[in-house]
């Protein structure tokens, strides 16, 4: 029965809107100031609270503050919201009523609110309301020049502050509109860039050529689908080693890590149409043409090189087939043509009429031209590929080349890859086929070993046998899956669960190659405890390698 993890859900309180937060900020600021002043009056001059207008003013401010926290401002209109600061002006007027004009400076709160969020017409109306409150208070007081000046100072101060805040708010709104327009244009530009990038990726993925962008550190910054398929790399982690190996020729020597096209592209080398052989994980040979191009980098971008790999196997094979056909046809034509020219020469030596002699000379000249053409075709004809040779090699030298190739991948995965020292191990083998086996075994060990793990490689002699072992501390293989690992397309359960891609063909191909060399390949493994793969091959009869 499959089990599904469930995630408990919790009720999330919706976040207040920007409008609500703004209303709260303005009103709570005034409410907090009034509460502090009320406490100060209680401590310093309680008699002031006896006045009905002051108590009413304090009560009105607190009531407005509570109402501000309760009412749903998201759906309220701007004129409806303006009732709060206008009511605050009235409440402050009640506080200042009776000559306590210093409370009038609290008018700066509602006036600043209106000046920030409303038009100048609203500001003028608010100042008129303040003037009305001051005038009403003045009419209840005995007339004096000093009180009139105090009222005038308060009114002028509030007017100046309102004008200043209105101008500042206008500049702020203009700047906000400008930023929004620029942000919209920038977002539109980014979307166009993303669309162009998607179209470029689609175009590159539609090409048959394998394309990669390589930086100076050897990292693949971008690859198309053809490159992924040709080199067998993991598209989710391009730092892992490819499963395909480049050779200088069919049956030749695998290229050193520093001489592979990607490494040369990383160094910034520019070359065009260089032919080499590629041997993939499925045991197939590919003839590829490698070229590089310099790419322009921006100020903050790394220097990169474009690597283009074209699989020209079919074209080369078609060309070879054409040459073979041309060679066969011209060879078959050569024999009857030789006879024709030979007998024509004999006839020319005979006593023939001048007209017949002239015609025979024409036949001989045409035949000679045909012979020269056939000779040219034969000289340009292809040669059949030589069979893969077996020669005495040092297995340790092959291992050193393999380990050198996979050291970058091991370092990238925080895996310690080590070749233990030992004596030369001479064997008679097909070097490139045996290198394929070693690359496959070491690649699997590095690929399936977690970070902080290790892979140890040894080569030694055991009687008349050469013994090569690759031991890792990786994920291991269960006893149930071990007998099946050599079957085509089979992958162990631990490998499938790891999410690391693979074809399931490498071990079967490797064992077949080893058995062709009269050797054996065995595996010992336990899940979570690592794997040890042992190769036994006959030692070379000669000690000279």
Residue 291 lies in a domain: yes
Identify whether the C-beta of residue 360 lies closer than 8 Å to the C-beta of residue 348. yes
- pLDDT at residue 335 in the model: 58
Q: In what order do the strands lie in the sheet containing 465-472? A: 416-419, 454-462, 465-472, 530-538, 520-526
Give dist(CA 405, CA 439) in Å, integer. 9
Q: Is residue 116 part of a domain?
A: yes
- Tell me if 491 sits within 8 A of 477, measured CB to CB: no
| Judgement on whether residues 59 and 87 belong to the same structural domain of the protein | yes
Instruction: Flag whether 370 is in a domain.
Output: yes
| H or E element at residue 513 | helix 506-516
Q: 351, exposed or middle or buried, with CB in 10 Å at 0-12, 13-18, 19+?
A: exposed
- On the question of pLDDT at 180 being above 60, the answer is yes
Same domain, yes or no, for 40 and 173? yes
**pLDDT band, residue 5 (cuts 50/70/90):** very low
Q: Are 304 and 221 in contact, with CB atoms under 8 Å apart?
A: yes
Give residue 503's pLDDT: 62
Residue 355 predicted with pLDDT over 50: yes
- Give yes or no: residues 445 and 508 share one domain: yes
The predicted pLDDT at position 382 comes to 40
pLDDT value at residue 524: 92
Q: Let me know whether 90 and 175 are in one domain.
A: yes
* For residues 2-25, average pLDDT: 62
Given pLDDT bands bounded at 50, 70 and 90, which one contains residue 8?
very low
Domain that holds residue 83: 18-179
Residue range 231-267, pLDDT digits in tens: 888 777 777 778 888 888 887 888 888 888 888 988 8
Q: Band of the pLDDT at 468, cuts 50, 70, 90?
A: very high
Q: Which residues pair with 522 in a beta bridge?
A: 534
- pLDDT category at 520 given cuts 50, 70, 90 is very high
Tell me what pLDDT residue 380 has.
55
Is the pLDDT confidence value at 210 over 50? yes
Strands 454-462 and 465-472: antiparallel
User: Is 357 found in the same domain as 410?
Assistant: no
Higher pLDDT, 49 or 125: 125
pLDDT at 510 over 60: yes
SS3 for 371-408 is HHHHHHHHHHCCCCCCCCCCEEEEHHHHHHHHHHHHHH
Q: How confident is the model at residue 151 (pLDDT cuts 50, 70, 90)?
A: low
Q: Residue 377 in contact with residue 326, Cβ under 8 Å?
A: yes
In a domain, 4, yes or no: no
Q: What 3-state DSSP class applies to 220?
A: strand
Q: What number is the average pLDDT over the span 458-473?
A: 92
**Are residues 406 and 489 both part of a single domain?**
yes
Residue 509 domain flag: yes
Query: At residue 130, does pLDDT exceed 90?
Result: no
Q: Which of 281, 311, 341 is the last residue of a domain?
A: 311
Percent of the chain with pLDDT over 70: 84
Q: DSSP alpha helices (H): ranges in 206-258?
A: 225-231
Q: Which of 380, 414, 430 is the endpoint of a domain? A: 380
| Model confidence pLDDT, tens digit, residues 360-373 | 776 776 666 566 65
Residue 352 confidence (pLDDT) above 80: no
Residues 221 and 165 in one domain: no
Domain with residue 487: its CATH number is 3.30.565.10
Residue 374: predicted pLDDT: 66
Alpha carbon distance 273, 109 (integer Å):
77
Residue 192 falls within a domain, yes or no? no
- Residue 387: per-residue pLDDT: 40
Do 290 and 338 belong to one domain? no
Specify the number of domains making up the chain: 4
pLDDT, tens digit, 9 for 90 and up, residues 394-409: 999 889 888 887 887 7
CATH of the domain at 278: 3.30.450.20
Q: Is residue 9, in this structure, part of any structural domain at all?
A: no
300 and 322 in a single domain? The answer is no
By percentage, how much of the chain surpasses pLDDT 90?
Answer: 9
Q: What is the distance between the alpha carbons of residues 420 and 234, in angstroms, rounded to a whole number?
A: 29
> Which one of 104-118, 476-490, 523-537 scores highest in mean pLDDT?
523-537
* Per-residue confidence (pLDDT) for residue 472, from 0 to 100: 92
d(CA 137, CA 140): 5
pLDDT > 60? residue 161: yes
The span from the CA of 70 to the CA of 28, in Å, is: 13
Bigger pLDDT: 545 vs 519: 519
Instruction: Please say which residue of 339, 356, 380 terminates a domain.
Output: 380
454-462 and 416-419 strand pairing? parallel
Q: What is the pLDDT of residue 3?
A: 38
Q: Is the pLDDT of residue 1 over 70?
A: no
Tell me the pLDDT tens digit for each residue of 29-51: 888 888 888 888 888 888 777 77
pLDDT band for 508, please (50, 70, 90 cuts): confident
Residue 383: per-residue pLDDT? 41
Instruction: Give the pLDDT of residue 378.
Output: 57
> Are residues 503 and 402 both part of a single domain?
yes
* Average pLDDT in the chain: 80
In angstroms, the Cα distances linking 403 to 91, 447, 455 are: 85, 13, 10
* Mean pLDDT of all residues in 66-80: 85
Q: Is residue 188 part of a domain?
A: no
pLDDT at 545: 41
pLDDT at 144: 59
Domain check: are 22 and 156 in the same one?
A: yes
**Do 522 and 444 share a structural domain?**
yes
Q: What is d(CA 490, CA 509) in angstroms, rounded to the nearest whole number? A: 12
Please give the average per-residue pLDDT across 195-200, as a whole number: 79
């Amino acid at each position: 029965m499959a089990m599904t993890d469930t995630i408990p859900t919790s009720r999330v309180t919706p976040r207040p809107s920007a409008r609500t937060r703004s209303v709260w900020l303005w009103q709570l600021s005034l409410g907090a100031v009034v509460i502090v002043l009320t406490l100060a009056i209680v401590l310093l001059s309680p008699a002031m609270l006896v006045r009905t207008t002051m108590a009413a003013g304090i009560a009105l401010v607190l009531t407005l503050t509570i109402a501000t926290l309760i009412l749903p401002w998201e759906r309220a209109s701007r004129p409806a919201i303006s009732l709060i600061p206008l009511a605050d002006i009235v409440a402050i007027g009640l506080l200042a009523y009776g000559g306590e004009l210093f409370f009038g400076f609290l008018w700066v709160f509602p006036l600043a609110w209106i000046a920030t969020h409303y038009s100048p017409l609203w500001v003028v109306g608010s100042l008129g309301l303040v003037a009305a409150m001051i005038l009403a208070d003045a009419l209840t007081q005995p007339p004096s020049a000093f009180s009139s000046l105090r009222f005038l100072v308060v009114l002028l101060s509030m007017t100046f502050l309102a004008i200043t805040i209105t101008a500042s708010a206008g500049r702020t709104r203009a700047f906000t509109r400008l930023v929004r327009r620029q942000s919209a244009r920038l977002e539109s530009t980014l979307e166009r860039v993303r669309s162009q990038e998607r179209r470029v990726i689609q175009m590159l993925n539609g090409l048959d050529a394998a394309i990669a962008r390589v930086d100076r550190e050897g990292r693949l910054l971008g690859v198309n689908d053809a490159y992924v398929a040709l080199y067998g790399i993991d598209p989710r982690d391009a730092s892992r080693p490819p499963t395909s190996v480049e050779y200088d020729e069919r049956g030749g020597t695998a290229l050193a890590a520093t001489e592979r096209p990607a490494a040369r592209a990383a160094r910034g080398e520019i070359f065009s149409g260089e032919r080499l052989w590629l041997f993939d994980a499925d045991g197939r040979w590919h003839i590829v043409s490698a070229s590089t191009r310099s790419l322009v980098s921006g100020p903050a971008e790394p220097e990169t090189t474009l690597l283009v790999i074209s699989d020209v196997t079919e074209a080369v094979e078609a060309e070879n087939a054409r040459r073979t056909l041309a060679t066969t046809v011209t060879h078959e034509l050569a024999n009857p043509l030789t006879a024709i020219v030979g007998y024509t020469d004999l006839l020319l030596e005979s006593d023939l009429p001048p007209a017949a002699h002239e015609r025979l000379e024409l036949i001989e000249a045409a035949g000679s031209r045909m012979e020269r053409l056939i000779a040219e075709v034969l000289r340009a004809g292809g040669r059949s590929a030589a069979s893969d040779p077996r020669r005495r090699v040092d297995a340790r030298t092959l291992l050193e080349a393999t380990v050198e190739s996979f050291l970058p991948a091991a370092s990238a995965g925080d895996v310690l890859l080590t070749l233990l020292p030992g004596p030369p191990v001479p064997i008679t083998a097909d070097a490139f086929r045996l290198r394929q086996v070693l690359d496959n075994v070491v690649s699997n060990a590095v690929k399936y070993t977690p970070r902080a793990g290790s892979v140890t490689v040894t080569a030694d002699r055991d009687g008349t046998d050469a013994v090569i072992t690759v031991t890792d501390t990786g994920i291991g293989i269960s006893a149930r899956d071990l007998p099946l690992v050599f079957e085509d397309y089979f992958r162990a359960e631990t490998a499938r669960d790891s999410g690391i891609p693979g074809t399931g063909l490498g071990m079967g191909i490797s064992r077949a190659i080893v058995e062709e060399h009269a050797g054996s390949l065995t595996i010992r493994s336990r899940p979570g405890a690592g794997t040890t793969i042992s190769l036994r091959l006959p030692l070379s009869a000669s000690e000279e390698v």
